[in-house]
Structures are given as C-alpha cells and as structure tokens.
Amino acid sequence: MSVVDAMPGTLAGRRLLSILSASLRSLQAASRIENVIGRARRFMASSSGGTEPAYSPVPAVTKSSRFPYVVERWRGTAYGDWMPETFARLVVIVPAAGHSRRMGRPKLLLPLGERSVIQRLIDAFDHPAVVEVMVVVRPDDDELAAAVAAAGATVIRPPESPADMKASVGWGLEALQRRWQENEIDAWLLAPADHPVLDADVVESVARAWAVSRPAVLVPTHEGRRGHPTIFARRLATELPTIPENHGLNWLVALHKDEVEELELGRPEVLVDLDTPEDYRELCRRFTTPGSEPGTRQ
C-alpha cells in the first residue's frame, strides 16, 4: 500500500501517522544531543588503541572515559539545576609536562591520602559544566599517562616535550580546537597540575560566576591574591600564538585587563601549589589530620 492510499481515516493511515509521529519525536530527541553525535562522528576516524589519526603535527590523544556531555547524569543531584541552556560548557586543560626538578621525583604521582596528586586534581572537575579534562604529558611519561587515563581524563601527548607551561597549554588548545566546534564549548579552564587541593566547591564557584557574566578571563582570588583555576573565553584560544617569547599566560591576561573579572572566594586552596619537598610534607600533614581535607567545613 502506498502512502497516498493510507489515508488518515483508515487503520493503515492511523498506523502510518503513529509511525511518523514516533519518528518525529526521535528526530527531536536527536537534535538535543547533536553535540554528542558530532563528537562521535569525529571520533569514528580514531585508530584502534585510543589515539586519533596523525595530522602534521598533532599530539597523540587517549580519549576520556569519564567526562561525557550527558546532562541527565546530574539530574536529582546537588547539581541538578545545571541545565544545558544555563550553564557554561568548559574544557579543562592541565599542563603536566614538567620534570619536577625541585621536588626530585615525579610529584604528580605522589600519594595524598588515598589518592595521587593528579587523581585528586582530576576528581575536582567531576562537575556538569566540565565536558572534558585534557592533561598534557611528556611523550615519554608512560607512568603519568597511565595514571591520567585511569582517572578518566584525556591524555594529550605532544610529539616532543613542551618547553614550558605555555607550550603545554598550546598543545592542549590545539587538541581542543580540533575536537570541539565553536558552538560546543564556551570557555577553557587552566588548572596547573600541581594544585592538588582544588575541590568541587571551587570549581562550582568559578563555573557559576563565569556563566553569569562570561568575561574574557575569570580569576579566583584569596585575600586579593590571584590563584587558579582560571577560566578563559573560548575566543582567547586563538590568541596564544600572539604571546611574545619569554612571556607566559599572564601576558594574555594583561592584554585583556579591561575584561578580567576577579572572584574573591575566601579559599586559600586557590593559592596552594606543590613545588618542593617541604610543600609536600605540609600537604601530607593536612591530609592525615581528621577533618582537614580541602573543602571540609569546620
């Protein structure tokens, strides 16, 4: 029977209308997850073993298993009010390609409590605004790459070791630009790998604040001192190559000084980093004292 013969007044016509209605609902649902489908199509070209095909030159990318853009995951939780039409979509970039020379050993794999330094940092970004966490590691750092992948983040391995943090961020942004279209990501968040006491409360505060005013740069502060994580509008990703030699990301912040928003959090965690054995011993004391974990309300 043709579509013309299946008139609405007939049983066949009613069945056809039912099928068409169901198909329309499916198409509407599909349009709401267009970003996910777009990502899947891009990943179809990935080679086996979890690395994207080689461009010239690009880093090897081991894809994330933990941060899918699935809003339904958060319904009924403390973050249940974060809906697609209201929250900013963030990609976190973690430059982790240093050599830990002052520490004398790989500091990101050191234990703090029951987790490593790098796992604590990745765990802090388990938030509905975060659609991917990218960690840039040296191409020969297999142990750190394995730890990052086990924590569920995306591993970015440049073809050569980055010379400094700016170079590491550049590789992360290169991957972001290839993997995410302009309408899929609103901003990128810079989180140095040696800030292990960042927690979900800090991420929540900076993500909400940026979503409201959407400045070029949002910097958390404690008692007037700037810290991390810092959020940059997506458009600033293309400006990294304009930073002069021997200058870092602060040059980019200064360039947009009239568009920088500071967010006073009253949280010393935004200033804490891990550079020396003394820093590590102090952090170990904090993590072995009951009730002293970052984010604990005392």
In a domain, 110, yes or no: yes
In a domain, 30, yes or no: no
Within 13 Å of residue 186, how many CA atoms lie on the same side as its CB? Answer: 20
Locate 282 and state its tokens: 């102090």
pLDDT category, 8, cuts 50, 70, 90?
Answer: very low
The percentage of residues in the chain with a pLDDT greater than 90, rounded to a whole number, is 38
CATH number for the domain harbouring residue 258: 3.90.550.10
In a domain, 213, yes or no: yes
Q: pLDDT tens across 89-98, in order?
A: 999 999 998 7
In a domain, 243, yes or no: yes
In a domain, 19, yes or no: no
Locate 184 and state its tokens: 């899929």
The residue written with tokens 């388990």 in the block is 126
The three-class DSSP label of residue 68 is coil
In a domain, 188, yes or no: yes
Within 13 Å of residue 205, how many CA atoms lie on the same side as its CB? Answer: 20
Provide the b/e sequence for 231-267 (b: ≥16 CB within 10 Å).
bbbbebbeebeebeeeeebeebbebeeeebeebebeb
Note every long-range contact of 219-223, with CB atoms under 8 Å and residues 24 or more positions apart, other chains counting. 219/253, 219/260, 219/261, 219/262, 219/263, 220/262, 220/263, 220/264, 220/265, 220/267, 220/270, 221/262, 221/263, 221/264, 221/265, 221/270, 222/264, 222/265, 222/266, 222/267, 222/268, 222/270, 222/271, 223/266
pTM of the shown model: 0.70
In a domain, 21, yes or no: no
- At position 176, the amino acid (one-letter code) is L
In a domain, 24, yes or no: no
Task: Return the pLDDT at 286.
Answer: 72
pLDDT exceeds 80 at position 71? no
What is the dihedral sign for C-alpha 127, 151, 37, 43?
positive
Locate 120 and state its tokens: 């604590």
| Choice among 98-102, 141-145, 153-157 with the minimum mean pLDDT | 98-102
The residue written with tokens 């900013």 in the block is 88
Give the count of domains, the chain: 1
Cα→Cα distances 56→5, 11, 161, 174, Å: 57, 60, 16, 12
Q: CB count, 10 Å around CB of 289?
A: 9
| Cα angle, residue 52 at apex, residues 46 and 54 outer, rounded to 5° | 120
Which domain covers residue 269, as residue numbers? 52-287
* 180 close to 91: Cβ distance less than 8 angstroms: yes
pLDDT exceeds 90 at position 194? no
| Choice among 82-86, 95-99, 230-234 with the minimum mean pLDDT | 82-86
